[in-house]
Amino acid sequence: MRKRVVKFADTCYNMSGKGIVHMKFPLKAVMIEKGQCTRVPRTRRCAILSRKAGFSLLELTIAIAILVTILSITAQGLVSSHAVLRLQNQRNDAMNSCRAVIANLRQVARALPESSDCPATDPRFPCVLVSWLDDMPTTSEEYFELSEAEREPYRGLFVLREQEIQVLLLDEDGNPAVTSLVESGNTNPVHVQVITRWTGNRGRVFQAGLRTIITNR
């Protein structure tokens, strides 16, 4: 039978079932061996008690080190996930800015609004696109310098930190679109490329863009 310390000060129970043996030994100074109550020598008593003691200093140090490592890895993962999510939200905002520019250009192409920069009669396309872009602010700084009324046509374009928007009007060969008083000399349809840049986390500059084709036909 495995030796174990008996947690009774004055009474040792005989494991063979032959009754109770009263022994005047101090608490935890008695053990049962082969069904008999015997007194534990001091040296063995210390050994038995040491095996039942708590964690050692080395074990606690190792456990704390493991816990700190796990917490550090978890914290880094949370920070990284937050940064990725924030960048994804910024990219979504940037793409929405590009879509807003294209939506405005399509509206201008349909309406062909009057402009002092374009002929009073046809052909007015793509001159009206060029005229609208000439008036559009190209940076968030320029946008916020405008009055509330002047900002109205450009709502939703500048939503990011230090944002810039560049719009290219091109022909099918990638050359700048041409405006002319002669309709056959105008670029139609126009290949539009919208590029936006902004400053993200830690001062890094990011870029997003869209391409489309616009015509008044």
Angle between helices 57-111 and 127-135 (to 10 degrees): 130
Is 2 part of any domain? no
What pLDDT does residue 24 have?
Answer: 45
**Tens digit of pLDDT per residue, the chain (217 long)?**
444 444 444 444 444 444 444 444 444 444 444 445 555 455 444 444 445 556 678 888 888 888 888 888 887 777 777 777 888 999 999 999 999 999 999 999 998 888 878 887 878 899 999 999 999 999 999 999 999 999 999 988 999 999 999 999 999 999 999 998 888 889 999 999 999 999 988 889 999 999 999 998 8
| Rounded-to-integer distance, Cα 167 and Cα 211, Å | 10
Answer yes or no: do 45 and 131 share one domain.
no
Answer yes or no: do 91 and 173 share one domain.
yes
**pTM (global) more than 0.85:** no
Answer yes or no: do 33 and 106 share one domain.
no
Is 6 part of any domain? no
| Rounded-to-integer distance, Cα 70 and Cα 195, Å | 42
Answer yes or no: do 27 and 74 share one domain.
no
Answer yes or no: do 134 and 40 share one domain.
no
Secondary structure percentages of the chain, helix, strand, coil, to 5:
45, 20, 35
Q: How many domains does the chain have?
A: 2
Answer yes or no: do 189 and 119 share one domain.
yes
| Rounded-to-integer distance, Cα 121 and Cα 128, Å | 12
Answer yes or no: do 82 and 38 share one domain.
no
| Rounded-to-integer distance, Cα 139 and Cα 150, Å | 14
Answer yes or no: do 43 and 89 share one domain.
no
Answer yes or no: do 25 and 80 share one domain.
no
Answer yes or no: do 79 and 182 share one domain.
yes
Answer yes or no: do 87 and 17 share one domain.
no
The residue range of the domain holding 110 is: 64-214
Answer yes or no: do 200 and 169 share one domain.
yes
Is 193 part of any domain? yes
What pLDDT does residue 54 have?
Answer: 60
Is 139 part of any domain? yes
